[in-house]
Amino acid sequence: MTNTVILISQLVIALGIYNVWLVRANMATGYRGGDAKNLQDEFRVYGLSAEFMRVVKVLKLTFATLLLAGIRYPLCAYVGALGMCVLMLAAVVMHLKVRDPIKKALPAASLLVLSILVVVSVGGG
């Protein structure tokens, strides 16, 4: 995989996470689980608490930031992408759990694939 593809993957993942959790957290989108209108509703749909949502938010923003730091420090990219793999796999599973149409799981699945590319390409620094 070329360095440019990995760099773009890191940027897409990180900026996508910032967009969802900081810019659009209180907005309805076509990708929210069930009939949720915002992130808090979405976690309720999945049967998850507000406290758990806060933990996920911190983890996702931390891993996104590590992906950006990974542009300079490959180990950061590896750790950020590995963490993102776990969280994106869980997001896909949650969409399946509530029987969402596949379309709703596509963003999480796409970020999972990009995260796997980064993990495999960076390989721990």
The angle that helices 3-18 and 50-69 make with each other, rounded to 10 degrees, is: 150
Band of residue 123 on the pLDDT scale cut at 50, 70, 90: confident
Nearest to 84 by CA among 49, 108, 120: 108
Q: What percentage of the chain carries pLDDT values higher than 90?
A: 96
Please tell me the distance from the alpha carbon of residue 64 to that of residue 51, in angstroms, as a whole number. Answer: 20
pTM: 0.93
DSSP secondary structure of 12-69: HHHHHHHIIIIISTTS--TTSSTT-SSHHHHHHHTT--HHHHHHHHHHHHHHHHHHHH
Residue 113's domain comprises 3-122
Write out pLDDT tens, residues 40-98.
Answer: 999 999 999 999 999 999 999 999 999 999 999 999 999 999 999 999 999 999 999 99
What is the pLDDT, as a whole number, of residue 2? 85
Domain count of the fold of the chain: 1
